[in-house]
Amino acid sequence: MCQLTRRPHSIYCILPPHILRSLAQNGTPGQRHNALQTLSIDSTFRGLRASQPVVRRAHRIAIAEGQKQRTIYTANQSETLPGTLARAEDTQPSNDPAIDEAYDGLGATFDFYWEVFDRNSIDDEGLPLDATVHYGENYDNAFWNGERMVFGDGDGDLFNRFTVSLDVIGHELAHGVTEDEAQLAYFSQSGALNESMSDVFGSLVKQYLLKQPADQADWLIGAGLLTTKVSGVALRSMKAPGTAYDDPILGKDPQPAHMRDFVSTSRDNGGVHINSGIPNHAFYLVATQLGGYAWEKAGRIWYETLRDSRLRPNTGFKRFARLTASVAARLYGSQGTEEKAVSDAWKQVGIVLN
């Protein structure tokens, strides 16, 4: 599928395999064709990625701190990367929505990390941000491959173009940040934490751009991505995991919000896109409990936890939860409102700290 494990750089796709499998089983012949095509492209990444050297730092050019360096390419419906140059930094809109949404989304994500966390791009060393749009024909996915973001146009039937959701762009780039800071292994609980980190920061990128307080945010990942034909609002809901969609073709959102509903499965790298609902909901609870802008305190706690050397690649939910409480105490005082909000949130999703 879309991820490589036990390699320095994985490929992270936004669409979990269970949605594509459901589509391939229940869709019309056309929908099935697109889903199978997407699954087959996703599975070829294994060979593709393994045979490519890591080049992301090789083409670095010197730019000032906090300066964006975006380059958008178009694959023109081919599967060749990077494709042809479509828009460079500081150039006018192209009037192609996919190109301009990718450009703006990369910019909003860069600005979020720089302005909120003083982080200079994905690697904190000013990594230029590259993206390719119009990847493949009716390709129902978007991914971060360690060096660029790649967006399909969707089938136009069930999925819109994948540049449409800012939180999807924020989600994918956050995989780069996690890879740079913590290398959370993309399997089982550490993998679900890896996924959850991307949902948390993906949602925060959107909330920050819209200047939304925690109680006014939609807490959805992939809002706008599903067409009106689909019975659903997004790919995931952090506010109410398990309720994002319930559709005869896509199936039902399988995310749990509590440890008692933890899903044990060998699929999806051990349920990384499924059990991420539990830490996602814990973050939502912390943010809404503390009130105000979620990126200010809850986001800071999660970001500093991601950077904490005690966060190991194989960290599970409980150890992660303890770390967030410890970081909250370090940042805002022991036994303070923030540490208490963190402990309470974890308790509400079934993880009791002691």
| Residue 144 or 293 having the CB closest to Zn ion | 144
x/- site string to Zn ion, residues 126 to 165, per CB under 5 A? Answer: ----------------------------------------
Q: Which residue has the tokens 């499924």?
A: 274
Residue 117: left if φ>0, alpha if ψ -120 to 50, beta else—which one?
Answer: alpha
Catalytic one of 18, 171, 175, 273: 273
Range in contact with Zn ion (rule: CB under 5 A) among 154-162, 192-200, 225-233, 339-347: 192-200
Which pairs from 333-340 meet CB under 8 Å and 24+ separation?
A: 337/290, 338/290, 338/297, 338/301
Round to whole Å and give the CA distance between 240 and 107: 29
Q: Which residue has the tokens 């959102």?
A: 253
Residue 245: left if φ>0, alpha if ψ -120 to 50, beta else—which one?
Answer: beta
- Residue 172 annotated in active site: yes
**Shortest distance (Å) from residue 102 CB to Zn ion:** 17
CB 192 within 8 A of CB 279: yes
Catalytic one of 172, 179, 304, 339: 172
Range in contact with Zn ion (rule: CB under 5 A) among 52-60, 162-170, 198-206, 295-303: 198-206
| Residue 12 or 283 having the CB closest to Zn ion | 12
Round to whole Å and give the CA distance between 215 and 232: 21
| Residue 245 or 293 having the CB closest to Zn ion | 245
**Residues 6-45, interacting with Zn ion (CB under 5 A):** 12
| Residue 222 or 242 having the CB closest to Zn ion | 222
The residues pairing with 247 across neighbouring beta strands, listed in sequence order, are 251
- Residue 201 interacts with Zn ion (CB under 5 A): yes or no: no
- Residue 338 annotated in active site: no
| Residue 74 or 198 having the CB closest to Zn ion | 198
Q: In this chain, which of 109, 141, 198, 326 binds Zn ion, going by CB under 5 A?
A: 198
Quick one: 36 exposed, middle or buried, by C-beta within 10 A (0-12, 13-18, 19+)?
A: middle
Positions marked active-site: 172, 273
**Which chain residues interact with Zn ion by CB under 5 A?**
12, 198
